Amino acid sequence: PVKEVCLQAIFSKSATACWEVVPVADVAATHFLVKLDCLDMNDNSASYVETMHLNKYDYTYQLSNLEPDANYALSIEAAVGLDATKIGSIAKSNSVHFSTLPLPTSPHNLKICSQLESLLVTWESRNSLVAGFFVRIKERDSHQSNKRVLLPRDCCCCAITHLKCDICYEVSISTAYHETDSFNDNLSSTDSVTSYGTPLGPTSSTINLLQASVENAHYVHIQWKLPNIAANECFHHSSVLCWEGSNTDYHADDLLNCINSEIFDSFVLKKELPHNIVSLSIPDLLPGRVYSCAVVHTLVNNTHYCVSWDEVNMPTVRAWEEETTVTSTHSHCVLSNVVTVVMPVPSLTPRLLLCGIGPEITLMWISPCDSLYDTNVVMLGYLLNVNGNEQHFNCHTNKHVVLNCKPEIEYYITLQAETKNQLDEFGVSQPDKLCVKLPAVTESGFHMISCNYVMVNDAGDKPVKLLAISWDFKVFTEKLSVTSYVMEWMSSLSANLVRITLNSSSRGYDITDPQTRAVYEITVTVVLSDGSRIKSAALSYQIPSSPDTLTISVDVVKHNYFIVSWLEPQQHGGCSVIGYQAFLDGKKIGNVIDDTCLSARIPRRRHMLHTFRLAAVTADDNPDSYCYSNIVTIPATQDIASSSATPYIDITNIETKQTSIKILWKFHDTSTSNQYHFVAQWSSTTSPQTKSEKIYKSGSYTIEHCKPGTTYFMKIVCIGKDGETIAKSKLVKSTTSQSPRKPSISLCYATSQSITVEWKRPTEYGDIKILHYKLQVDQEEFTLDKDATSFQLESCHPCNLYHFKLLAITAEGSSESSDELIVRCPGIRLGGLTQLSSGKLDCILCEWNSPQVYGEQIVCFNIYCRPVVNQSKEKSMIFDLQTITHGPLQPDSIRHCFSGLKRTSYYMVLLEAVTIDKECYHTKPYFMNTATLPVVNIVQCDILATKGMGELEDKLCHILTKRDSISLKIHWHSHKSTKSSHQQKQHTDTLASLSLQLLDCEKSISKMLTLLGQHTSTLKNMQLMRGC
């Protein structure tokens, strides 16, 4: 007998039954019958009987494929028999009732916060039957099966790390439940949630808005909003960053990295604030400079598990390290947008001066460079406009003469400064304006007045500086004469007005020893014999002077050279600096240094004491106007070692590989103490925590186990025996090697004949540089220069589709191909023209199909017709007096008739479509004729040919000339026929349907019929219809 049937384990879709058997003498059970009935079903479809072989002394059975949350009745029968069809029951157990467990519900309220190379995933679940949670992740566009990892049942969030940048991932969370000894999950629930994230930084819902306003030339006020955070997060603090430069100087990784790294020291401001402060004023900024600001919020979350997603091995789960600080992971940082401001500078408008008028107009201007001093706004030149004629001048020019001026014409003159700021943005200043009118030839007045700065020698050969004024006054009235001249001038450096009276024969005056840098304003008034006065135009002139003092400093002193640096001196009065001349021991050395250089390496002799001086060379190339610097002394070689110069560390080279970075440096120390050691410090965008290692061997250090394509920040520090910092190198930045990212190509603009695409240079990693680009356009390939960022495809056809793909080629191979860009050319594609029979002898009736239109709108058609003399020579339409133009026709027109034409003549016809933008599209020219008789012969027949059909068709086309043939249609069909049985072989004849339309030409028809007879074995269905 079978007794004590029980269920050992019950799950949602399975259960395990066990029982005991009491042996009976001389009878042994060979099979067991398992009967299971679903009590929730009315029909018998849920009842089934299974037969299993006896497992000696182990009476268990696994029930599978059960319905969740259902009631069942189970009974076991012991049976004997040779096979399953001949079973005799010898014992039956009692019926046992049990219920399967319900399936746990799927998680809900799934949220994904995307961070750098990681995702923070949170969810909710209120089901007590959950045994755990399965996390699945895969690349959205990948066809690989997604991996899964099991998290405990008490987990409601996790961080997924070690992901790729710029890849969109698909993440799903499902509940796990027990089934026998394994875990299964339920993905068929409609509550299952799938979300996407790209680990480039915070999602749009978490970015806070940062705004900046310029208060004055030195202050910027910024304010921001706190970001939205998840339920399992809270604010810890905020960090305000400000640096000189644009928003592209630092990647988002760098900004997040600098918060947690001690090796960043190049920021203008890096200030930590409580999280409840949402505004700040940044002081002490320089005018004209470009600054960028950002805010990083540090958040605390209660994530307990971290999933490390390895592309090769299965994902692994580890507990979140409690000792890990809040600032040790990017998943806790939220970066704001980066705002860039340009600090205001004083007025950039140059001052335009009139120095003389006459047959020529002499102009001079005062540069705004004084206002640009100590700013990052660079003067590029000047834009002068005289009555609409523009001229460009470099920044060293401050004078111009307008030649061939005509009397009685007003000359409107404007001058603007052309500048470039730190963002490489080009601009022009507000204009300064002048209006000058010359008197008529027969009009009394000043026909010439000018001033000029000259230097002459006196009787004792001493140089004397003069401001020379000259004029020419003409009187065209006999009753009037000049009595005297009154000259007035004033210097900008003094408020005194000077007035002198000159006799009637005077034609000029010299102002001796004028004040340098001063602007003189001069007027001349003529007194006539009738007591009337005529005043000249006001002249202005700035007296040039040497630039301000030039200060130099010695940065590096070596045995065979030294390095000096300086700041560009302020310039006045047009004596602009065009370069620098070096003097060593009082003698000129080398050529003139370019004015854009602010440092130089000067060779020297060993074991010698030198004196050095620098001079700013001005545009007039007069040594007296040079600006000389202070004199510095360069010590001899033996004095260098004993001097007390500050020690420093100079990083000489960085060797970057895919997984390692080698740093080479030199330590320059003038002391004799050897009680120091070196420390290498570094961090990366993926691991912002600063790492350090003690180095006892000077000169080189290698950072091992680096990640490919990752940016590292490094510096070397020299530490003394008491732990003090003796010297440290500058912070250097290097990226380990990796293939470039795939380029992103986009449409710039498209016309009916060309397409221009553009792209940004993909990010390069380490030593793997882009050599060139390969652009695939449909079946063509173009090789482009490495600096190219755009490409124009010529000879495009309207309404055609073009497919673009771009690859960056390196020495190691190529990058991933860009996403395909599909562009359709805008424009209009016109169909061909077809001549129809008009029934008249002096008409041409033509028809066309509706054109293809994309991105345009047809407003009308024009159609042209012109007689043709020689059809073989005329290939294109000539528009002359013989051309007949009909139009405009309606945009829905498809047919037009030319009447009143010459009989038996050929004409060239062309169709033109006009768009709403007045752009015209043409068909090719078509040759059409007016026939003497509107008679067409049609020949139709079916032929069975035994000879070569190619030869037949060639000869037909030769007989039927262009003038005779309007259409020729030949359709060849394969036709098999079996000959008499005694030949026992098959061959294939060709059946053709021939349709010809011929003009009234008996000779051509006769030749055609003769030719058909030579090449065919059978002619059937021959029809010759005349006059149709």
| The pLDDT value given to residue 779 | 87
Distance, in Å, from the CA atom of 95 to the CA atom of 76, rounded to the nearest integer, reads: 8
Q: What's the pLDDT tens digit per position in 183-241?
A: 555 443 333 334 434 333 333 334 567 888 887 777 888 888 877 665 556 677 788 88
pLDDT band at 302 (very low <50, low <70, confident <90, very high): low
3-state secondary structure of 872: coil
- SS3 percent helix, strand, coil of the chain, rounded to 5, is 5, 50, 45
Bond into 888 cis (ω within 30): yes
Give percent of the chain above pLDDT 70: 71
Question: Quick count: other Cβ atoms within 10 Å of Cβ 145?
Answer: 8
**Confidence band for 1016, pLDDT divided at 50, 70 and 90:** low
Rounded mean pLDDT of 839-860? 86
Residue pair 411/354 in contact by the 8 Å Cβ criterion? no
The pLDDT assigned to 1014 comes to 64
- Mean pLDDT (whole number) for 231-252: 74
Q: CA 1011, CA 960: separation in Å to the nearest integer?
A: 12
The pLDDT assigned to 231 comes to 52
Q: Terminal CA-to-CA distance of the chain, rounded, Å? A: 105
> Is the pLDDT reported for residue 804 higher than 90?
yes
Strand, coil or helix: 440: coil
Cα–Cα dist 370/377, whole Å: 12
- Note whether 782 and 775 are within 8 A (CB): yes
Q: How far is it, in rounded angstroms, from Cα 97 to Cα 44?
A: 17
CA–CA dist 630, 793 (Å, integer): 59
Distance CA 677, CA 691 (A): 17
- H or E element: which one contains 339? strand 339-342
pLDDT digits (tens, 9 = 90+) for 445-489: 888 888 888 878 877 778 888 889 998 888 877 778 888 999 999
Strand order through the sheet with 700-703: 648-656, 661-668, 700-703
Rg, Å, the chain Cα set? 48
The pLDDT tens digits of the residues spanning 94-140 come to 788 888 888 777 777 777 766 656 777 777 776 666 777 888 787 77
Q: What's the order of all strands across the beta sheet hosting 108-115?
A: 108-115, 118-124, 157-161, 305-308, 316-319
The arithmetic mean of pLDDT across residues 491-511, rounded, is: 86
| Stated pTM of the model | 0.38
**What pLDDT score was predicted for residue 322?**
35
- Give burial (CB, 10 Å; 0-12/13-18/19+) of 175: buried
| Model pLDDT, residue 655 | 87
Count CB neighbours of 776 within 10 A.
Answer: 16
pLDDT score recorded for residue 960: 54
Taking alpha carbons only, the member of 186, 223, 9, 7 closest to residue 103 is 186
Q: Which residues pair with 602 in a beta bridge?
A: 562
The predicted structure's pLDDT at residue 54: 56
Question: What is the residue whose two structure tokens read 């006020």?
Answer: 221
Q: What is the pLDDT of residues 700-727, one digit of tens each?
A: 899 988 888 788 888 888 888 777 888 8
User: Does residue 430 have a pLDDT over 80?
Assistant: yes
